[in-house]
Amino acid sequence: MNLRPFARRIRRALSRRDPLITVSISKEAILHNLRAYQKAYPAQKVAPVLKSNAYGHGLVLVAELLDTEDIAFLMVDSLYEARKLRRAGIRSPIVVMGYARPEEIAGSTLRAVAFAAVDIEQLRELSGLARRPISLHLKLDTGMHRQGILPEDLEEAVSLIAANPNLTLAGVATHLGDADNPDAAFSETQLSAWDSCVSRLEASFPDIPYIHAAATKGARFSAAHPMNVLRLGIGLYGFDTSPGNGEALRPALSLHSSIVSVRDIPPGDSVGYNATYTASRPSRIATVPVGYYEGLDRGLSNRGSVLVDGTACPLAGRISMNMCSVDITDAPEAARGSTVTLISDNPEDPNSVSGIARRIDTTPYVILAHIPEHLCRTLS
């Protein structure tokens, strides 16, 4: 009898509270996005990427949604994240794709967790330390020059893996640095190096289970090059800026709070630090307990907007560490307790993740990853 679901319900019941701020995660949206890629790329097994607290969506929460899905494995960045998933009862295979110290890899007893070998020095140390079976995904540097085994070190890497019977090559990977560029020249240069390296590795290890070069933005290259796994990161959460992207994705996250205070101010009075906002008319100003610590980017000060009971209202003055001010003059029904949507899951809203990213000239990745782990996340 599997008691894990029951234990999860008990854990959630014991931790229930009525928070001032809630991050709402749509189960339907995440599963819709997963299946959109599974349908579009049927030759690839999907490996959901859950690093950085599942791109702000909640590491364990998203893993629980995906644990019974048809996936290759779950991907995380760190041994810490892998441990957290196992302690939460997640049973899917896991690949740690970020750097882990060789001694930590050699000492790990986590079940069905593979580790990336991200450079030749790490692999040298690991080859000398491994005293128990370790599954490796050999990461190749095909031109991004951030992590990976360089092509000139590939022969040594093959020898190091072959020399220690405790090391198993479970996968080979690379990362494309310019995959969202309509001009595919740089990606094709990387993929040419990739093709050659994979061919060499398969000559020594003919049955490598997992071969993966494409993340969300590189999925379009998967049919023409050796790969059988698609690493699905930002696309899982509803965003893909790849050229020709035809997947109808649904953003999965929204951020909500409520008005906790309202005050009327006359024309000429200012709001917030450094008096950067001055009322030009009799105004009603609401305080919302969300600031840049809670993921509302300070760059939205005097530039962004939120939804108050569905009405768009501008942010007034500087966003503080734990609160912001909103001009609700044009929302006459708004009052203490009114619902405020700081981040909308509707792509058409100016305070959607994409809308905010455009407003402050950044990417959806940054907006999502800056939503702190301590905020309460609920499934909707």
Active site residues: 51, 273
What's the CA gap between 21 and 253, in Å, rounded? Answer: 13
Q: Dihedral angle at the C-alpha atoms of 73, 76, 82, 86, nearest 10 degrees? A: -50
Q: Which long-range contacts (CB under 8 A, 24 or more apart) does 356-364 make?
A: 356/297, 356/300, 356/304, 359/299, 359/300, 359/303, 359/304, 360/297, 360/299, 360/300, 360/303, 360/304, 362/297, 362/299, 364/234, 364/239
| Residue 25 host element (H or E) | strand 22-25
Cβ neighbours of 201 (radius 10 Å):
22
Closest of 297, 292, 334 to residue 312, by C-alpha:
334
Torsion sign (Cα): 105, 106, 107, 111: positive
